[in-house]
Amino acid sequence: MGGSSGWWQNLQDGLEQIELRVGPLKAWAPMASIILAFGASFIPWTIIRFTLTGIAIILFLLVAIDVAQSMLENDPGPYDQRNPVPVAKITPFQVVLAGVLAVIYSVMIFAAVRPLISTLTMPSRWTIAFTIPAICFVSGLVAWRNVRLWFYEAAEYDELLTEEKNALAELIEKERLKEMRLPSPSGTIHPAEL
C-alpha cells in the first residue's frame, strides 16, 4: 500500500516539475502546433511526417484541454459584497465581433488541422464532415467567451473609473469646504462663516 502511493507521489512531483519548466512556453503551443502541422505536410519521409503530426496533435490537444478547462472553471475574480460584478449587456456589436473572431479562429485551426487530415491515406468525407463543424463550434465558443470577458473587463474598468471620479470630486469638495472655513489672513471674518 505504501509503495503504490510513493510512485504516485513521484509521478505527481515529476508532472509538477514538467509543468513549471514548460509553463512559460504554453502561450506558444498553438503557434507551434500550427507550424508543425503545416510543416509536416511538406516533408516527404513518412516517419518524420507522422512524428511531427503526432507532436502537433499532442500540442493541439493540450491547447484544447487548456481552453476547455478555462471555459469550465469559474473565474470569481475579486469579489466584494458591497460592489457586485457589473453586468455587461449583450449587444449586436459583441455578436458581430464574436462571429468575426470565430471565422478567424476557424480558418487558423483548419489551416493547422488540414495537413493532419491529409496525412490519412484516404481522408473520408465523414472525417471532413465531422472536423469542419467541430472546429467552427469550438471556435465560436472560444470567440464568444473572449468577447464576453473583454466586455466584462471593460464594464469593471468603467465602474472603477466612475468610482475614482466620484472619490476625486469628494476630495475636491472637502478641500473647497476646508478653505471656506479657514479665517482670512487679515483677521476679518469670512462671509461663509456667518
Per-residue pLDDT, averaged over 115-120, amounts to 66
Per-residue pLDDT, averaged over 81-102, amounts to 77
Q: CA-CA distance, 161 to 145, in Å (whole number)?
A: 24
What percent of the chain lies above the pLDDT cut of 70?
73
pLDDT at 3 over 60: no
Reported confidence tier of residue 96, pLDDT bands at 50, 70, 90:
very high
Reported confidence tier of residue 117, pLDDT bands at 50, 70, 90:
low
Per-residue pLDDT, averaged over 122-134, amounts to 72
* Per-residue confidence (pLDDT) for residue 72, from 0 to 100: 62
Q: CA-CA distance, 121 to 111, in Å (whole number)?
A: 18
8 Å CB contact between 155 and 88: yes
Per-residue pLDDT, averaged over 142-151, amounts to 84
* Per-residue confidence (pLDDT) for residue 190, from 0 to 100: 53
Per-residue pLDDT, averaged over 77-81, amounts to 54
Cα 148 versus chain centre, distance: 10
Q: Which position has the higher pLDDT, 121 or 45?
A: 45
Partners of 83 in the β-ladder? 80
pLDDT tens string 5-28: 788 888 778 777 777 776 777 777
* Per-residue confidence (pLDDT) for residue 40, from 0 to 100: 77
Query: Which of 2, 110, 98 lies closest to 60 in space, CA to CA?
Result: 110
Rg (CA), the chain: 29
Reported confidence tier of residue 85, pLDDT bands at 50, 70, 90:
low
Q: End-to-end alpha-carbon separation of the chain, Å?
A: 87
What pTM, to 2 d.p., does this model score? 0.48
Q: Which residues touch 140 (CB under 8 Å, ≥6 apart)? A: 98, 99, 102
